[in-house]
Amino acid sequence: MHKNLKKTLTELVFDNRFTHCLPADPLLTNRRRQVKNACFSWVDPADSSNPELIALSHEMLNALDLDPETLDSQHFLQVFAGNQLLPGMQPYAMCYGGHQFGHWAGQLGDGRAIILGDVINNERQRWSLQLKGAGPTPYSRTADGYAVLRSSIREFLCSEAMFHLGVPTTRALSLVLSGEKVVRDMFYDGHPEYEPAAIVCRVAPSFTRFGNFQILTAQNDIENLTRLVDYTIQTDYPHLGPPDKQVYLEWFREICTRTADMVVHWMRVGFVHGVMNTDNMSILGLTIDYGPYGWLENYDPDWTPNTTDANGRRYRFSNQSQIAQWNLLQLAEAIYPLINETTPLELALQHYNNYYQQQWQAMMATKLGFAHSSSEIEMLAKGLLKLLESIETDMTLFYRALASFDLPETDFEDNELLQSIFAKVWYQPEQVDASYLDQLKAWLIQYRKICTSLALSEADRVQQMNSVNPKYVLRNYLAQQAIDKAGQGDYTMVQELLEVLRRPYDEQPEKEIFAAKRPEWARHRAGCSMLSCSS
């Protein structure tokens, strides 16, 4: 078949290797329960009474080889609302456990996510289709399995925004309003309300998480643990070769590497995941589960977007690399029965730490326009972060402002000029006193000195900086404005944000409003500053 040939829905090729190779929950009733000796449970999506397609990723449609004309059909809407199954679809929910906020939570599982099957596209790529918010499963615990429109908009937009930022991530194909109403207490403060429900079709090569392995080890089900690890290596890491003890170690080391790469990207763009539980850690090093996430507005290393984490700040921006390593340690303990040696697993975890530090330093150098890091550049970068933290400074806008002026020709002694260059990045201009300006000047002079010593041209510096420092990110206040409008039946801002975020590094002069720093009215407003884990 020609690789560019587009398909109709019924022409999609499903593989479903996960359910063919791994043990299923023998019970077919869709009731909440503890599941033993199984990797998944069969379950069908619930019906949507009045579905409406709100948004769609054309890039993801193309990756699935689907003909754009498919969008105009009721068939597409009914499938991705959960009302119809395509030939080859065999829906199921995964069983997994996990550590939540550092404590073992036991069985968790896909409580509101149902995988429809794995599509193999014309390039032989595997894409698993998952409906989030499609109704209850055996893993729903005390919840109803549905997702509200506000969280679904945030998940859809962020999945695609992260992809275009170059961050490893799960993707999103479609966002569908289901027609149902569900009750949610957004901040767990005794004020529940009815909200519209929605369904996101999430897409990834695999949705397997650290917790998939943890639950089997916790149940002492080493036979199925081995089967799952072997399946994962054969399917998602085939380049490692046939599974054996040495390959298990190489596999774990590669997971460490991929996880480090993912977190470095988070730090590069100022993203805070907010809920880095082990059940939210992808075995492929992808950002997964967009719940109470956020982007740094003012540079605050201790900031977390999660109200549940407000006291301990376990998942704050500056702690993400350490938490990732802690989570990898939990995965190491889960696969230990296949290794039965501590030292090689410890060496892989040390590799994570060393590799992360190297990549972080290299990333910080690129944010300043340098091709490589050095001890001098490392000190420069650390000095900048202290400067950014000293007053409320918008991280995203600062790096773009730094690339916007002629470094060799700028007179750093001209306070009015500096104020004009950086005024839009400061949240509280009254904090900009003489002491701060002296520190900023000293840093800029050192920055220029290093650029000059390396013979770094202005064109190269600006090109490098603007290729890794985005101008447009999904700021929480923008997402909340889109959510507010959607609540009134107006989805135009969802579409507009999706379009802007497709080109986050471009200037897009007509869209400057979406690059503005957080307005003061949004500083403490619900949905614009911090969010809960509530769907």
Q: Could you give the residue numbers annotated as active site?
A: 279
Token pair for residue 209? Answer: 């998480």
Q: Identify which of 423, 425, 407 has the alpha carbon closest to the alpha carbon of residue 297.
A: 425
Residue in this structure with the two tokens 């500096």, named with its chain if needed? 418
Q: Where are the beta strands (DSSP E) in 374-511?
A: none
Amino acid at 343: T
Give 189-249 as a DSSP string: SS--EEEEEEEEEEEES---BHHHHHHHHHTT-HHHHHHHHHHHHHHH-GGG-S--HHHHH
Cβ-contact 136, 128 below 8 angstroms = no
Cβ-contact 10, 87 below 8 angstroms = yes
Q: Where are the beta strands (DSSP E) in 242-391?
A: 271-272, 294-295
Q: Give CA–CA dist 102/82, Å, rounded.
A: 34
Helices (H), 66-197: 74-80, 149-165
480 — alpha (psi -120 to 50), left (phi > 0) or beta? alpha
Give 422-443 as a DSSP string: HGGGBS-GGG--HHHHHHHHHH
> How long, in residues, is the chain?
535
What angle in degrees, to the nearest 10, is found between the helix axes of 476-487 and 149-165?
Answer: 140
Q: Give CA–CA dist 394/516, Å, rounded.
A: 10
Q: Give CA–CA dist 144/140, Å, rounded.
A: 6
Q: Which helix (H) or strand (E) holds 193?
A: strand 193-204
69 — alpha (psi -120 to 50), left (phi > 0) or beta? alpha
Q: Give CA–CA dist 187/502, Å, rounded.
A: 31
Amino acid at 121: N
